[in-house]
Amino acid sequence: MHSYYFDQDLDYRPADCAGRYSPCAPTGFGGPLYEDPPPLTRAQRKALRGQRPSRRHHAGLVFAVFLLLIGATAAVLLALRMEAPALALPSGYIPSGGGVTTIPLPQASDPPTTVERAPTGTGVTLDLSHETGEALTYQALYQKCIPSIAGIRSYKTSGGASGTGVVMTQDGYVITNYHVIQGASRVEVLLHDDSVHDALLVGGDQTNDLAVLKIDCSGLTPAEFGDSDLLQVGDTALAVGNPLGEQLRGTMTDGIISAINRDVNSDGNTMTLLQTTAALNSGNSGGALLNIYGQVVGITNMKMTSYSDTIEGIGFAIPSVTAKAVVDELIERGHLAGRPTLGITGAALSEEMAAARGLVPGVYVSTVDPNSGAQKGGMFPGDVITECNGQAVSSVEDINAVKADFKAGDTLTFRVFRGEGYLDLEITLMERYELDQ
């Protein structure tokens, strides 16, 4: 899938991060930083002096490595969200949804480019008011919830992937992760009875990684949703979904709630999530995290992996209270307002990296959305942002901190380094959902 980012518009890809968050289904999260190697002694430097390549060669090599690191991180997240094998997960927070199996593309002479939209403003809302009742055995819990777990097939012109969804209503509203259906031209829902239904997109929000689908069906078994605010660390937590694709549909894993209100930063954006030890894998994204009463208290969306360390039992889910606020607005309006964006992705450019390529320190612009305010304002990939509204910036977080005080329609001024000089640009912020259309 596309790079995964939330209410901020900058995709943060630190070149020195050994671990990161990745969505589960496509899959995503972050971890420890690489430690700097110990400095060389004077004798070691003298011995190596004659072996060094020329300054020009060295500079080009350093910058090439820098670009490779940025590109590799992007490729890792892209592959994990759509097509990478889940048994070879790299470092980071990974979406827990689809991408492990290739889905045959639907045959059509002129396939659509986006998923058809469903009507909004129906008055349907997510109900969290159910009583908890008696604790269930795992067997009873599974029998209660499994009819409400669906498979999600997401088709793009270049391929497809599968994730998980949770049936919300009897008449066909289904909740899943946004990254499962992002960029899809067609979406299908596979129900517990093995029937397959074309889905319409009611709305989606990249910031909160949630989407609502609608299928033309009735008599479904909706999941019972519980109140995530009642959870405590140590409570039983069980995940039900489709890890590694549809071959393992309806897999249940058990664990506990290991943290509440865990702030997780992925791609320069922060989500407040539930942390669980229940096993999550690619394909679980959009599935259910259940309490001991068989109620959905979270929508699974991420896990943590690492290149250098063995990491087990660190998964994440969107709390049901958060999901309710987002889902209700998506059903009412089709989108969430109040998510201003520039429409670019970038990474911090250190003094060392900048000097190696004849640039200046700042935020290196990796991509610019062709429909964004940044593109209209004259920003290009390869620019280095040094100031935002008169404030010096050296990281994605610095820009997002300035942007947080503004809304869509406001204009920000940027000083960028391009070629051998500086330019001042005025860029108008857009609503995030306008770029997701």
Which residues carry out catalysis? Answer: 179, 209, 285
Q: How far apart are CA 96 and CA 108, in angstroms?
A: 30
Task: Please report how many Cα atoms fall inside a 13 Å half-sphere around the Cα of residue 396, on the Cβ side.
Answer: 27
Q: Are 406 and 430 in contact (CB under 8 A)?
A: no
Torsion sign over Cα 270, 276, 282, 288: negative
> What is the signed CA dihedral for 114, 186, 436, 127, rounded to 10 degrees?
130
The distance from CA 200 to its chain's CA centroid, rounded to whole angstroms, is 21
Q: How far apart are CA 41 and CA 47, in angstroms?
A: 10
Residues sharing a CB contact under 8 Å with residue 298, sequence separation 6 or more, in sequence order = 228, 237, 273, 274, 276, 288, 289, 317, 318, 319, 320, 323
